[in-house]
C-alpha cells in the first residue's frame, strides 16, 4: 500500500530562494497552459491533448529565459497534474481547474529525477544541502515522489509518498454505531457523548479583529503583509487544532472497535443551510469519515455506512415505530407504541448500529 508522510521543514536562505523560483515558475506554466486550453475551447470548442502542451514547453522556455533556471521536471509534473484535474472535471468528480495565485498556498510535486533520498536525508535538485526536516516518523521505504508546499502562514511542508506494509490489528468483538452532531461531535450507541470543541467559535473574535485591522492596511504595504501573516497564522492554528482532534478521535474508534457504523451524509448539500453552514464546516464531518475509512483499511477494520435517508432519529429502536416528522429542537421523545423514553441522539446511534451490522451479514 502507499502512504504519504508529511513533515515540516525549515529551509535555509539559498533553499528559500530556490523554492520561491520553483513555486513561481511552476505556477506560471500551470496558468499559461490553462489559459491556452481555455482559449482553444472558446475559439473552436476543441480540447488540447497533453502531448501538445508538453511540446509547448520548449518554445515557452525560449520565450521566457528565466524558466531555464529551474528543473524542467516540475513543469512536466505540473502538466500531468493539470491533465488529471481535467479528467476529474470531465468525469464530473471536480470543478473546472482554477488559475493559481501567488497569494495562496504554493506547492510543487517532484519525481525521483528531481530529488534524492540518502541516509535519512532529502535533497532536491540544484541544492547541495539536505532539507532541514523535523522528522516525527521513520520512512518505511524510499519515497517515489514528494510534494513540497508552503502555506499562507509561511510554513514549509514536504509530503513523501512511500510504500508500506499495513499490519492488521487483532480482531475484537466490539462494534459501535455513531451519530454525528453539532452540540456533540458524535454520540455512540452506548450513550457516550464526545464534545464538539468548536475551534472556529473559540477564535472568531480574535479572527474578526485581525481581519478588520487587515482591511485598514494599504494594499502593497509591508504592514499589510505583516497583518496578512497574522490572519493566516490564526487560520492555520484553527485548522491544526481541528485536525489534531479528529485524528485522535478517529484513531481511538478504530483501535477499540472491529466495526464502526456511520451515516453517509451529504455534507456539501447540508452546508447550503446558511444558519448551520459555519457550524457544520467547523465540525468537519466529511474529514472525520475520511479518516475513519483509510485508518480502518490499514488496520483491517470495517466501516459500515448507512443510507442518509434512513430515519435513524425518528425510528424507535425498541419496537420500530417511525415518526412522520420530528423538528431539530426535539432532543428526547416517548414512543407512542411501546412508551419507551428515548434520547434522540443515542436512539439514532443505536439504529445506525443495528442497520449497519445487518448490512454486513
* Torsion angle in degrees (nearest 10) through CA of 71, 74, 79, 80: 130
SS3 of 193-261: EEECCCHHHHHHHHHHHHHHHHHHCCCCCHHHHHHHHHHHHHHHHHHHHHHHHHHHHHHHHHHHCCEEE
Q: Catalytic: 263?
A: yes
Catalytic residue among 165, 195, 263, 282: 263
Q: Catalytic: 151?
A: no
Is-contact 299 251, C-beta < 8 A? no
Catalytic residue among 179, 192, 282, 287: 179
Q: Which residue has the cell 513523501?
A: 160
- Give the CA angle between residues 43, 48, 52 to the nearest 5°: 125
- Give the CA angle between residues 331, 292, 199 to the nearest 5°: 60
Q: Catalytic: 81?
A: no
Task: Using alpha carbons, select from 126, 6, 128 the residue that is nearest to residue 73.
Answer: 126
C-alpha cell at 114: 528531481
SS3 content of the chain, % helix, strand, coil (to 5): 45, 20, 35
Residues with a catalytic annotation lie at: 179, 263, 345
Amino acid at each position: 500500500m502507499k502512504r504519504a508522510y508529511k513533515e515540516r521543514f525549515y529551509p535555509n536562505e539559498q533553499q528559500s530562494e530556490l523554492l520561491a523560483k520553483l513555486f513561481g515558475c511552476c505556477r506560471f506554466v500551470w496558468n499559461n497552459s490553462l489559459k491556452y486550453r481555455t482559449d482553444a475551447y472558446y475559439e473552436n470548442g476543441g480540447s488540447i491533448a497533453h502531448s501538445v502542451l508538453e511540446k509547448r514547453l520548449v518554445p515557452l522556455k525560449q520565450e521566457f529565459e528565466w524558466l531555464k533556471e529551474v528543473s524542467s521536471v516540475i513543469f512536466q509534473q505540473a502538466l500531468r497534474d493539470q491533465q488529471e484535474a481535467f479528467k476529474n472535471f470531465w468525469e464530473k468528480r471536480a470543478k473546472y481547474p482554477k488559475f493559481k495565485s501567488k497569494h495562496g498556498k504554493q506547492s510543487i510535486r517532484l519525481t525521483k529525477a528531481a530529488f534524492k533520498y540518502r541516509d535519512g536525508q532529502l535533497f532536491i535538485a540544484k541544492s547541495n544541502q539536505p532539507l532541514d526536516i523535523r522528522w516525527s516518523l521513520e520512512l518505511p521505504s524510499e519515497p517515489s515522489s514528494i510534494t513540497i508546499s508552503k502555506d499562507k502562514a509561511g510554513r514549509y511542508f514536504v509530503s513523501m509518498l512511500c510504500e508500506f506494509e499495513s499490519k492488521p490489528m487483532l480482531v475484537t468483538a466490539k462494534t459501535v454505531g455513531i451519530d454525528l452532531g453539532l452540540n456533540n461531535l458524535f454520540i455512540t450507541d452506548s450513550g457516550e457523548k464526545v464534545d464538539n470543541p468548536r475551534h472556529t467559535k473559540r477564535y472568531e473574535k480574535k479572527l474578526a479583529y485581525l481581519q478588520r485591522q487587515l482591511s485598514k492596511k494599504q494594499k502593497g504595504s509591508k504592514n499589510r503583509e505583516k497583518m496578512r501573516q497574522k490572519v493566516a497564522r490564526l487560520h492555520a492554528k484553527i485548522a491544526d487544532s481541528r485536525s489534531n482532534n479528529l485524528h485522535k478521535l478517529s484513531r481511538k474508534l478504530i483501535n477499540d472497535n472491529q466495526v464502526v457504523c456511520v451515516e453517509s451524509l451529504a455534507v456539501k448539500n447540508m452546508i447550503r443551510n446558511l444558519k448551520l453552514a459555519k457550524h457544520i464546516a467547523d465540525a468537519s464531518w466529511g474529514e472525520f469519515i475520511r479518516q475513519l475509512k483509510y485508518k480502518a483499511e490499514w488496520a483491517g477494520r470495517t466501516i459500515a455506512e448507512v443510507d442518509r435517508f434512513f430515519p435513524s432519529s425518528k425510528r424507535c429502536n425498541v419496537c420500530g415505530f417511525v415518526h412522520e416528522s420530528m423538528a431539530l429542537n426535539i432532543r428526547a421523545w416517548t414512543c407512542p407504541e411501546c412508551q419507551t423514553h428515548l434520547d434522540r441522539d443515542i436512539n439514532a446511534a443505536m439504529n445506525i448500529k443495528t442497520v449497519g451490522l445487518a448490512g454486513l451479514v
